[in-house]
A and B are shown apart, each in its own frame.
Chain A
Amino acid sequence: MKPYHSLIFEISQSDRSAVDLPESDVDTIELNDKFPSHLLRETEAELPEVPELQLIRHYTALSNKNYGVDSGFYPLGSCTMKYNPKLNEDVARLEGFSRIHPYQPEETIQGALELLYQLQEDLAVISGMDAVTLQPSAGAQGEWTGLMIAKNYHRQNGENRSKVLVPDSAHGTNPASAAVAGFETVTIPSNANGRVDVEALKEHVDHDTAALMLTNPSTLGLFEKDIIEIADIVHQAGGLLYYDGANANAILGKTTPGKMGFDIVHLNLHKTFTTPHGGGGPGAGPVGVVKELTPYLPVPRITKEGDQYRFDTEEPLSIGRVKGYYGNFGILVRAYTYIRTMGPEGLRQVSESAVLHANYLKKRLEPYFVAPYPQICKHEFVLSGINQKKLGVRTLDIAKRLLDFGYHPPTIYFPLNVEEALMIEPTETETKETLDAFADTMIQIAKEIEENPMMVLEAPHTTVIGRLDETKASRKPILRYTKHE
């Protein structure tokens, strides 16, 4: 294929367009007659001018320089890059879902409300919670929503608890969301087994603890076996337990956050429930809560009266609105379609296969990379490149070398408590052949590091561009195109 390096602005030519709008069928208006002149543009916005075929070729060329799950294996830990079913895409594009307005009269959107109501019910069952809001548009927004619920709950009980506890292995969004909800973050260390250090937790929990945020299994892919004791410790101090659902792909149909003792749960529909990541979004991060917290959920809530579905805005204790309208509806439609496709047995098998795949791949790689936590893992596992680092090759280099073999690398340098971390999540939708081929490649790279490290240090060799100077890009940022005359 011919290499393509142009920005759309660089192929633009005056007086071209890919759209032909109809002529006006009403009287023309002189803008100067209607608006004061200082509120009218003097210079036009410099949008590109391209004909339709050239527009399509431009974006096709760009797509050819991009890698998705449909391109190949994508074992990006904690991101659950599983297959995005095509049926879900078709359903979300049905005109009865895509061309409806959020403020239409309730009686004209009963199908949409029924879907949302059913999805709320399903997610409540899957998470073991009593009620669910679908409003949050991503995991981080779900976290913030959940923490605002915790905050208002404590306030209602006459308490201004100021601290949120977060393990050192937590996603960066956990402490960031706590800060946006106005809490101070306290970091709880992991013990030698990679799990929450229960003794340290006891030391830090007190009457100022609003909540403990926990991902279970953790970002190390390990199940918190002491979860019952952890829940007791937090509850006895009057705190709430928050479940970060980023790793829920490991537990479907096996257990629920509710059973574990959690009070608030968010689920990432773009992880566990197959909605596409879209190159960074849109996602959806519904939040479920136990009965005691239900009055604090965001409004509007979707309820059912007889056989009619409606919006409920009359909740005096609600934290209010967190997102426009009712959440990322198009994403919710996809997740609902997936849940109906899989049913209870399918969802259980999802987690079983995801966990089997992770353990199998870990087993194959353990002889070549340090596995800091040798016990069984759940849906993902973490390796450390410390031995390779001694040979002068960093985890970043391993990631770049993987690109040459047509793989998306694992998550690297996270979690923060493992040196030179490689976090691998194979997911359930890959075949054993793919897992084996990836393992073979990783093993080959491990050998290259010993025999021919330059091959790895100088990688990637086959991509459209080499490693970019990100430091310079941040020091003297160029964040938009500017026309050079």
Chain B
Amino acid sequence: MGSTFRYLPDTAQDQQAMLDALNIDSIADLFDDLPTSIRLDGELPIEKAIPEPLLMKKMQQLASKNTNANQHSYFLGAGTYDHFIPSVVNHVISRSEFYTAYTPYQPEISQGELQAIFEFQTMVCELTGMDVANSSMYDGFTSVAEAAALAVSSTKRSKVLISQAVHPESRAILTTNASGLAYAVEEINLLDEITNLNELQQKIDQDTAAIIAQYPNFFGSVEDLAQIKQIAESHGALLIVSANPLALALLQSPGHLGADIVVGDMQPLGIPMSFGGPHCGYFAVNKKLMRKIPGRIVGEALDANGKRGFTLALQAREQHIRREKASSNICSNQALNALASAVCMSALGKQGIRKMAQLNVEKADYMAKQLSKKGFNVINRAPFFNEFVIKLPVSTNTANRKLIEAGFVGGFDLSMDYDMADHMLIAVTEQRTKAEIDQFITVLEAL
């Protein structure tokens, strides 16, 4: 009998015809090379197949157990944000010529993907102020570790310094990465909510491959990259910056301020929160590091008739050619999400992205001022982008329970990662209205 599964097209006749051609009696003969001792007897003990209509219902029920941003107003950020995504984004990435394709190894039938990524690379270069960007990485956090590995290998030094104002998950992944590649990671403490530059000055030495800072930092504050660059340069260390690409619409580009490697996550531009993934790391470098950049990269090329096209470039860096000598082990990246963010950036355009960023600044600023007026202590001493920290009269956990009841997803609890009990990191995107902000504050006042 043929299969009853809708993704399996063979009829009984098809199967028989193929078995006849192979001159065998049954499909079982094709598994004769499995030693009997390792064969499964009986089916895998997992749940039976569920037909499409019932399965959709089941999945809807599962999804409905989660509180989502359609029902609640989110003031939670800390690396993942509820931003506006234009409808065009999902329509473009739903074109299956894009999403059902593999990595563009055959450029003649992959020009669409290749060109879209070439455009993405250009947009990343524009925002970061860097010379070269790759086609994407897993996420912003793993990109920090890849950047550190690149700095260690290109400077032949064995230590990186990372500010504690860099996202805790970036630092955690960096630690795992460093224990594999055997380089040292030292953290630089905070002064208020920004990197302590005096301590940085003391800890940097001739063995420091790079300083890693975040821009804006984990607490929303804008670090003075110019000063950090000076410290790095005086010891021949590279400057690695992890940056929010939306903030870069307004802030001076890290490239302009001397960054050697700029990484981050495109999630704020066109990618749903999706419980933390898939998002899309980006990775940009200056010209000197171009041939050491990890991952895939698209370049312009000509065919025999002189016609412009696009193809994967500089492949000699990559694992499928260099094997153990490759600049990274990355193979799959986040191409479809890079496409999503390219569409979002194209839709916003040069002025739209500034307007969106400006709305973030204004709404966060309004909320912080209102909170100050109501007597809450806003911790940030440096200017902040769309996030800031406040001190609460109760634990953040307690506050968040009250907020959920009132229809809000409250901010990030800083008690675990920073030992800052009763401190909440609040994100205010362009999605939040004045009315939502005011109501949120009313709930906090009642604590």
Contact = CB atoms under 8 A, between A and B. Distances in A.
B63 A26 contact: no
Interface stretch (B111-119, B154-162, B206-214): B111-119
B434 A25 contact: yes
Interface string B226-252: 100000000000000000000011111
A472 interface: yes
B362 A28 contact: yes
Interface stretch (B190-198, B345-353, B371-379, B387-395): B345-353
A63 B363 contact: no
Interface in A129-171: 137-141, 143-144, 147-148, 151, 171
Given A81-B102, A176-B323, A469-B302, A323 B142 contact: yes
Interface string B339-381: 1000101111111111110110111011000000000000000
Q: Please indicate which of the listed interface residues A74, A141, A279, A328 has the most CB atoms of chain B within 10 Å of its own CB.
A: A279
Given A39-B251, A254-B40, A326 B276 contact: yes
Contacts of B352: 17-19, 21
A16 interface: yes
A343 B46 contact: yes
Interface string B263-282: 00000000011111111100
B104 A280 contact: yes
Interface in A1-43: 5, 7-9, 12, 15-19, 21-22, 24-29, 31, 34-36, 38-42
Interface in B295-319: 296-305, 307-316, 318-319
Contact size class for A?
35 or more
Interface in B387-425: 397, 400-401, 404, 409, 412
Nearest to B18: A360
A178 B315 CA distance: 20
Nearest to B215: A39
A228 to B, nearest CB: 6
A331 B56 contact: no
B348 to A, nearest CB: 5
A425 B366 CA distance: 58
Contacts of A472: 301-302
Contacts of A179: 324-326, 329
A62 B354 contact: no
Given A256-B40, A342-B49, A479 B329 contact: no
A341 B100 contact: no
A96 B62 contact: yes
Contacts of A102: 80, 273, 275-277
A176 B22 CA distance: 39
A77 B249 CA distance: 42
A254 B31 contact: yes
Interface string B27-62: 101111111011110011111111010011011111
Listed from nearest, the 8 A-B pairs whose CB atoms lie closest are: A325-B276, A96-B63, A343-B49, A111-B65, A278-B336, A102-B276, A68-B100, A66-B112
11 contacts: A26-B362, A45-B350, A63-B97, A64-B97, A66-B111, A95-B68, A140-B319, A320-B175, A324-B169, A344-B48, A429-B9
